[in-house]
Chain A
């Protein structure tokens, strides 16, 4: 099925560093979601975005809905070991229940 491109695919960072990742699509979306998934568990919703240009924070996490509506960005500030996991973006167009998921960014934090 269709997938969104996420980058980077994986990254190692030092504890305390800031992290940036993005998600791009060839289609316009009306909703962007960001999830974190730990091994053996389901994805957990981090941030939901509904409007082009919107910037939303959740603790150390900040996400933005790109103004072209074809991309979204997630930043994590001052990373800690428990930030380790896989981060997925997901996008949906108006009038559909069909969310398309990104390919994922695997984050590893070095203490």
Chain B
């Protein structure tokens, strides 16, 4: 069982919808990440939060809006997505400090219609 929990497991949304992806970890990790993974490709970094503050934004379009309400929770708010945004969205966490291993959740499979 993964210690990083993501909900929902699957999500289908239209291009005009607003939805949110949720991630939770209880390992006391202080860094949390969003990655996007297309089929047969490696994960690509989107955002990093360190101590609940946005540390890295990899030039992600504004239709993706991250939020870190507290050290255990990470959300990704979605609005006006495009079909090419369909992918597996992975959340990860790591201990404080760079170089700590990432621990991934099982992802949310997003389909934009």
**Which of A's residues lie within 8 Å of B, judged by CB?**
1, 3, 30-31, 33, 35, 40-45, 48, 50, 88, 90, 92, 94-99, 101-104
The reply to whether A97 and B106 contact each other, CB–CB distance below 8 Å, is no
Interface of B is mostly: strand
- Residues of the A chain whose Cβ atoms lie less than 8 Å from the Cβ of B71: none
**Which of B's residues lie within 8 Å of A, judged by CB?**
2, 4, 6, 31, 33, 40-45, 48, 50, 55-56, 58, 90, 92, 94, 98-99, 101-107, 109
Q: Known contacts A1-B44, A97-B94; is A45 also within 8 Å of B56 by CB?
A: no
Contact of A97 among B56, B90, B103 (CB under 8 A): B56
The reply to whether B55 and A1 contact each other, CB–CB distance below 8 Å, is no
In the assembly, what is the distance between CA of A48 and CA of B95, in Å?
14
In the assembly, what is the distance between CA of A102 and CA of B43, in Å?
9
